[in-house]
Amino acid sequence: QAARQKDAPQSSSLRSTLRGSGDRPAMDAAAEDSQASRVRPALDPLFAEAQADLVAQPQQRPVEQSPSDRDGARLLVHITAKQQLNLSNHSDKFSALWRVNLALMPDNVSLQYYNDARMRRTARILSALVWHAGLTKGVLSAYEAYRRLKPPAFRADLWRYMALWAKGGVYLDAKVRLVKPLAQVFDLKSAALQIGRDRVFGAYWQGAFAPIAPR
């Protein structure tokens, strides 16, 4: 509760933070945030409702669907990659890999692909959701942590924890190749966090994990 006492001074920052960057070329983070404050919000299809509500009412918890209604019967599968994903492309090896993977997934899967621009845009939204849940001291706290992490892999780690916390589903590394149906890898009816274990070293491997239900 104490984390929300400074809501009012941060409302303009929240509006600025939630304005999307689209797919523009990479730029200095400060310059990007300054430019983002002057453009209309670009609603992300997966977070559009929460994003619009946060922009309109930055000092109130965003209105969300009930857990039973959230995303309907879809099973979200999140992947991050710099390569362009085009499932209709029959010559691109990356897209071909994911056509094979999709064939081993349930029909209700919604594949959510994130390039750097979409990760950056949704990191802003997720930062606000984390703040509204009382888990950080400021609306920008999680986003600033994300932005200051230099190795891309570290940024991806923080982002995917927030994304799965907010939306649930399954995260798979872009290079993962399924050799059996997804339902045999994870219990798709469980709300528990599930993490794979490396067969060789016995350590947990974060290239594939799933909290099927959000939050």
Residue ranges of domains in the chain:
2-62+69-211
**pLDDT at 210 exceeding the cut of 90:** no
- In tens, the pLDDT along 135-152 reads 998 888 999 999 999 999
Q: What's the whole-number average pLDDT of the chain?
A: 74
Q: Which of 31-45, 116-130, 184-198 has the lowest mean pLDDT?
A: 31-45
Q: Which residue has the higher pLDDT, 206 or 148?
A: 148
**Phi, psi (5° rounding) for residue 39?**
-120, 160
By residue count, the chain amounts to 215
**pLDDT at 9 exceeding the cut of 90:** no
pLDDT band at 8 (very low <50, low <70, confident <90, very high): very low
* Helix ranges restricted to H, the chain: 11-17, 29-36, 48-56, 93-102, 116-132, 141-148, 152-167, 182-185
